Structure 1
């Protein structure tokens, strides 16, 4: 699908969540998180919190369409950006844990898509006027992440094992990934905004390769993290639709229609 505005992004994500819930598809895990972030961004636009609400509507639409394009390409013929293919390719693996799917979505959407959407929304020198509004999204993400952390913790009672093997808990993983990745994404957006189309395509390809490498580390961890994840998985629910519904209600907002 191609969204024309943020309302259509929210509707498109709600449709993916709804279909994933019906089919028991783990693609609904990240889609539920992303839907709630987008709803919060839309509320902030309507509340006049951004310097330029119309511009943020355009940005969020471009951002959302990056996800829809990757989603559709994967379902059509298993193509699309490398980093998204790494995440989507793990969806049918029943040995994965919830937080892995969330991280894989966050990785691809922020480490690749955010920079591209920002640069295309505000090309050239205009990119610098976008900085404050993008930083405001960090606050929105923080609120959603806090709510999702509680959901993940309730669904993964042994997730704290990751701390004991030198990894990170759900809170630290999500917070670190979002904050660190968004900071890097801003620098990449500035780079992309000043490039020619040919240069931009080469940079996007490099960003995709890097994000795909990070995705493999999340999808196939080594050392003590692997057996810890196996134990964590043994305590998580096998009811994928119930997990999606739980995550999708993390903000205690309206249910998916």
Structure 2
């Protein structure tokens, strides 16, 4: 892949595959396609300082997810973060919200920093900072839009989130604040180190990010209860839910 249009085509194929397999991986794929479309629109409308660099970043970033999806499906090795995320697809008690958060964890907390580093290997990574922040504006908007649209599809979720600020804080804090700052710091860390140190730094980061899956599958009674309540109101088959998200997002 070398263009955003090719990325979008690959994401469409993943969504179709998830629909055929009734795979909950489709929830994140739908969200990610929407983010990619918005990045494409941003480049076209001069939202970014350097549209060409943003397209390169988008392709490198997306390729990490697409490769992870295909490699896991084929039984090949993937990062610890994606392995933990894809393993959740076998848990029928996990909500749509949790599936999306698990994808955000692996892709933003690990992949985004690596993609930023790889995009700027021949330049100064700090030249990317303004556009990196703009990418995160898009991601942040999409996370809030996901929450809004999930409450549209399953109205009781709105009541649950309003009455339990904990779940709402979990979505915002986990997916964006930690990810935004952590991804950039990780990208700068990679850029500041010599090539031989990069694999070990990525491995260390990968293990830390994979451990954050505990926030998505909490053992605490309160959050468990909240997610269990949410799951009660998620009616329909997996393909039904994927199609609902496609329509709403």
User: TM-score scaled by structure 2?
Assistant: 0.92
Equivalent residues, number: 247
Alpha-carbon distance change, 143 to 165 in structure 1, aligned in 2, over 3 angstroms: closer
SS at match of 1:108: helix
Across the aligned residues of Structure 1 and Structure 2, the Cα RMSD in angstroms comes to 1.9
Q: Which residue of 1 aligns with 2:133?
A: 135
SS at match of 1:123: coil
Q: Equivalent residues in 2 for 1:21-170 (5 A)?
A: 21-77=19-75, 79-123=77-121, 126-159=124-157, 160-161=159-160, 164=163, 167-169=166-168
Deviation of 1:227 after TM superposition, in Å, equals 2.6
Deviation of 1:117 after TM superposition, in Å, equals 0.3
Q: Which residue of 2 aligns with 1:254?
A: none
After the TM superposition, which parts of structure 1 deviate over 4 Å for at least 4 consecutive aligned residues?
Answer: 162-166
Deviation of 1:195 after TM superposition, in Å, equals 1.6
CA distance, structure 1, for counterparts of residue 44 and residue 123 of structure 2: 26
Deviation of 1:19 after TM superposition, in Å, equals 2.0
Alpha-carbon distance change, 182 to 66 in structure 1, aligned in 2, over 3 angstroms: same
User: TM-score scaled by structure 1?
Assistant: 0.89
Q: Which residue of 1 aligns with 2:209?
A: 211
CA distance, structure 1, for counterparts of residue 115 and residue 143 of structure 2: 22
Q: Which consecutive residues of structure 1, in runs of 5 or more, have no partner in the other structure?
A: 252-257
Of 166, 172, 175, the match for 1:175: 172
Q: Which consecutive residues of structure 2, in runs of 5 or more, have no partner in the other structure?
A: none
Higher helix fraction (1 or 2): 2
Alpha-carbon distance change, 57 to 131 in structure 1, aligned in 2, over 3 angstroms: same
SS at match of 1:77: coil
**Aligned residues of 1:29 and 1:102 also touching (Cα < 8 A):** yes
